[in-house]
Chains A and B, each alone.
Chain A
């Protein structure tokens, strides 16, 4: 007991010491990281899992097979729970955005306003229709496809909502519609970012006054008057090429994770002999098939995303690919980008040479990039390697249908194809989560020190009210409690009752 208390005291002191050395932006960032990941875990189900549910339901209706309908109904419960927790955590993340990063109000009230308002409309569509979908499951005896149509309505709402949120995040990466302003202001290596629809003097005022005054600038109604007519095209963020890439990349990532998780749950049931084996195999095949197709498509989406990184955020590209500061060769990347093996990549030093005298934020950017390079490189390749492994697992799945692939699986791994599919689903789930977590971390960490790349930094938008370590700790505990409650809810529905059902001899 004493040792536990001593350990607790030591850990608390360490955290307090660390906390005291951090500023409000560091505290806010920690809370945001935890909040975003908790939110992301649940929202990916709402985002992509409907595809699995609707596929199962459609097959059930088309083949008149109640097993598929039963699987869809069971999966819909997970969809409902995760949607509810995702919606709730989304509300909290949004509160966190406006309370902790209250300087982002300038973004919400300008470039992000139209997407975020459209997101609200999508959100209400999905939340109402998912209620209708779950309430009316198996109720339509004559209009079964009508129920699928309601599900497609939810899917539409979910994806519209996701697109609108992701395009705001994409605008923070690539502030599309600012023309050459970013390169003129701080980051000379950035190319023209689309048509110039932002008032140049307004953007310069915002970008130069915020670092001096801090986010408290926005407490002045007069400051907004200085920024009047900030943009002539509030829709521009929606048409950002980075948004297209981000949306497809994230959709496919969510689909890979959720369908592999569904497959691994069914594999678990088969291995443990819970329920009827043929029933579980039907669900396993469908979800693994969807995961496999999504894994292949993800390679294309990831490649496109990488090309945009190279084009618009060269410093981050150099860090993730591990290009030495003085420049170097990377045959694989060279082949992908230029179709030849020997292209020379100049590195951070060449970007440094482009900085004009007195560009402290440009210098700060490159310093941050150099600081984060080892971890960015590691995370980026953790994502890439996980993606490659997922593609291999996905190919292996088709051994169920191809004699050649089946032979390769059996020869290389010395196991039956069915065994490979059962255990491959667990590996798929693990690697897809690893890829997703490291991919998002790379994206967000790479943007340091910017909130909006080349325009506004983290320190500029954090609330001018002090964010204390105790407050931070309390909020993180609350965020983790929500995560655990959501996991516990899933456990209660999907695992706890398995044993009792088995005892009762129920097949599903």
Chain B
């Protein structure tokens, strides 16, 4: 077999893991925020149908959360195995933001488990507070993790020293959350995740409302539309803010994104998402607008992530108009055997299909509500 460099495997392996991971964590983040919103509104309006819908969504959240968690582990190991010095720099300079993300994982997991298992077992208000912890924990994770991407776009808080003939990249003591690129990126991630999830929820509610005329699905349509409109508008604002910060602090990245048209396409997609969220209010086209909104917001999310990463090429960390080459930070300690990444592709493809089949069985063949009736 033709030898493939560690650099190629490093990029391929990391991207292969990164993109499915961010899709699933986006859904987890979005659901963790949207579910308590439904429960709170249901509580305030004394409307059990909204609470029932929130419970239904939680059963889906629990399933997706585990799969997203596995891919997070994949990503961490891949980063450490393929890009060890980058990983070290990140854990040193971003010690507290990453710890914040880890704390977020802990809070989210504990509160999600409690939230799920104590439904109808504790006072509604107490349950809502647990749900708010779940949302806060879920929001903390991308908040902390975005500091890594911000660092790669603009290495704020890094002290460069030279000793024993080597160049070291360590923390200079500044707060990495003060990185000007960080906040808009983190907020954008929150808002687009919630937008995407609200469109998915809206699509689900539309499908179920065709045959189910109970309040559970009819009333949720309106709330999902409002969430989609608010957060798609916020996504548009924050993506524009992000590009402004790129222009001021990460010139190389900004030039690459503008010259290749990535910036224009991203903004057009963001505007399109807002338009679709408005169109979803129209009863006659709402059925099409919801899946359309989910598709376009996912396209926007992925397009921005892919292009922001591709535009850093050939650098791994951009410093103004130059940077640290990816080939410099790739692991040189051994030649990665081809069977490892190829095996990974095969396993992830097979397991993704199995996972989707299981979701299909869980949601449509043996839904939670009908567990005692249906069987093969």
Residues on A lying within 8 angstroms of B by beta carbon are 84-85, 87-88, 90-92, 94-96, 98-99, 102-103, 105-106, 108-110, 113-114, 116-121, 123-125, 127-129, 131-132, 135-136, 138-143, 202, 209, 213, 215-225, 227-232, 234-235, 463-465, 471, 474-475, 478-479, 481-482, 485-486, 488-489, 492-493
Q: Is the CB of A485 within 8 A of B113?
A: yes
Return the chain A residue nearest B355 by Cβ: A128
Quick check: A229 and B334 within 8 Å, CB to CB? yes
Contact A91 to B72, CB < 8 A, known contacts A109-B80, A110-B334: yes
Q: Which of B43-51, B98-106, B184-192, B296-304 contacts A (4 or more CB under 8 A)?
A: B98-106
Q: How far is the CA of A128 from the CA of B24 in the complex (A)?
A: 14
- Is the CB of B351 closer than 8 A to any CB of chain A? yes
Specify the chain B residue showing the minimal Cβ separation from A215.
B88
CA–CA, A379 to B229, complex, Å? 61
Q: Determine if B344 and A120 form an interchain contact, defined as CB atoms under 8 angstroms apart.
A: yes
Q: Is the interface of A mostly helix, strand, loop or mixed?
A: helix
- Find out whether the CB atom of B332 lies under 8 angstroms from the CB atom of A228: yes
Please list 5 pairs of residues, one from A and one from B, whose beta carbons are closer than 8 Å in the complex, sorted by A's number: A87-B69, A91-B105, A109-B81, A121-B343, A217-B166
Other A-B contacts than A463-B91, A463-B95, 5 sampled, CB-CB below 8 A, are A98-B87, A105-B85, A109-B81, A125-B347, A213-B163
Interface residues of B in 65-80 (CB under 8 A from A): 66-67, 69-74, 76-78, 80
Contact B66 A131 (CB under 8 A): yes
CB neighbors of A among B148-177 (8 A): 163-171
Which chain B residues lie closer than 8 Å to A106 at the CB level?
84, 333
Inside 8 A of B178's CB, which chain A residues have their CB?
none
Q: Is the CB of A99 within 8 A of B333?
A: no
Instruction: Establish whether residues B117 and A492, one from each chain, have CB atoms under 8 Å apart when the complex forms.
Output: yes
With a cutoff of 8 Å between Cβ atoms, the chain B residues found around residue A230 in the complex are: 333-334
**Given A110-B333, A131-B63, A219-B85, A123 and B106 contact (CB-CB distance below 8 Å):** no
B344 pairs with A99, CB closer than 8 A: no
- Could you tell me the distance in whole angstroms from the C-beta of A115 to the nearest C-beta in chain B? 10
CB <8 Å contact, A227 and B333: yes
Assuming the A-B contacts A88-B69, A125-B347, A492-B117, are A108 and B366 also in contact, with contact meaning beta carbons closer than 8 angstroms in the complex? no
Closest B residue, CB atoms, query A119: B77
Inter-chain residue pair count (beta carbon < 8 A): 226
Assess the A479–B92 pair: CB atoms within 8 A: no
Main secondary structure of the interface of B (DSSP, over half): helix
Contact B348 A124 (CB under 8 A): yes
Q: In the complex, A209→B168 CA distance in Å?
A: 14
A387 to chain B, nearest CB (A): 33
Cα distance A50–B227 when bound, in Å?
43
B376 is an interface residue with CB less than 8 A from chain A: yes
Q: How far is it, in angstroms, between the C-alpha of A228 and the C-alpha of B5 when the chains are bound?
A: 14
* B375 touches A (CB below 8 Å): yes
Chain B, 333-369, CB within 8 A of any chain A CB:
333-337, 340, 343-344, 347-348, 351, 354-355, 357-358, 361-362, 366
* Cα separation A489 to B334 with both chains bound (whole Å): 44
Docked Cα-Cα span, A296 to B253, in Å, equals 63
Residue B109, interface by CB 8 Å: yes
Report whether B76 and A98 are in contact in the complex, using a CB–CB cutoff of 8 Å.
Answer: yes
CA distance A222 to B354 in the complex (A): 43
With a cutoff of 8 Å between Cβ atoms, the chain A residues found around residue B8 in the complex are none
Q: Which residues of chain B are within 8 angstroms of A88 by Cβ–Cβ distance?
A: 69, 105, 109
Cα distance A99–B97 in the bound complex, in angstroms: 11
Judging by beta carbons under 8 Å apart, are B334 and A95 in contact? no
Contact (A128, B166) CB under 8 Å given A102-B91, A465-B171 = no
Binding site for A on B (CB under 8 A): 63, 66-67, 69-74, 76-78, 80-82, 84-85, 87-89, 91-92, 95, 98-99, 102-103, 105-107, 109-110, 113-114, 117-118, 121, 163-171, 324, 328-329, 331-337, 340, 343-344, 347-348, 351, 354-355, 357-358, 361-362, 366, 374-376
- Give Cα A98 to B77, complex, Å: 9
Q: Write out the residue numbers on chain B whose beta carbons fall within 8 Å of the beta carbon of A475.
A: 99, 102-103
Q: Are A94 and B77 in contact (CB under 8 A)?
A: yes
Choose one: B67, B71, B91; the contact of A99 (CB below 8 Å).
Answer: B91
Whether the Cβ atoms of B105 and A464 lie closer than 8 Å is no
Q: Closest 8 A-B residue pairs measured CB to CB?
A: A228-B332, A109-B84, A230-B333, A465-B95, A478-B106, A218-B88, A113-B81, A220-B166
Do B69 and A91 have beta carbons less than 8 Å apart? yes
**Least Cβ distance of A36 to chain B in Å?**
15
Partner of B77, one of A103, A117, A224: A117
Q: How far is the CB of A215 from chain B (nearest CB, A)?
A: 7
Q: When chains A and B are docked, how far (Å) is the Cα of A209 from the Cα of B165?
A: 13
Inside 8 A of A235's CB, which chain B residues have their CB? 337
Which residues of the other chain, A, contact B92 by a CB distance below 8 angstroms?
102, 216, 219, 463-465
A145 to chain B, nearest CB (A): 14
State the CA gap A110–B80 with chains docked (Å): 10
> In the complex, which of the residues B69, B344, B351 contacts A117, with contact meaning CB atoms closer than 8 Å?
B344
Q: Is the pair A228, B166 in contact by a Cβ cutoff of 8 Å?
A: no
> Complex formed: what's the CA distance from A61 to B366 in Å?
22
Closest to A465 in B: B95
B354 with A128: CB separation less than 8 A: yes
Given contacts A90-B73, A464-B92, A481-B110, contact A219 B80 (CB under 8 A): no
Cα distance A191–B81 when bound, in Å?
29
In the bound complex, what is the Cα–Cα distance between A202 and B332 (angstroms)?
Answer: 12
Known A218-B84, A232-B334; contact A95-B355, beta-carbon cutoff 8 A: no
Whether the Cβ atoms of A117 and B81 lie closer than 8 Å is: yes
Task: Determine if A142 and B376 form an interchain contact, defined as CB atoms under 8 angstroms apart.
Answer: yes
Give the Cβ gap from B291 to chain A, nearest Cβ, in Å.
25
CB contact under 8 A between A99 and B80, given known A125-B351, A129-B354: no
- Would you call B336 and A123 a contact (CB within 8 A)? no
> With A and B bound together, what is the CA distance between A247 and B76 in angstroms?
24
Contact: B73 with A123, CB < 8 Å? yes
Of A116, A124, A125, chain B has the most CB atoms within 10 Å of the CB of: A124
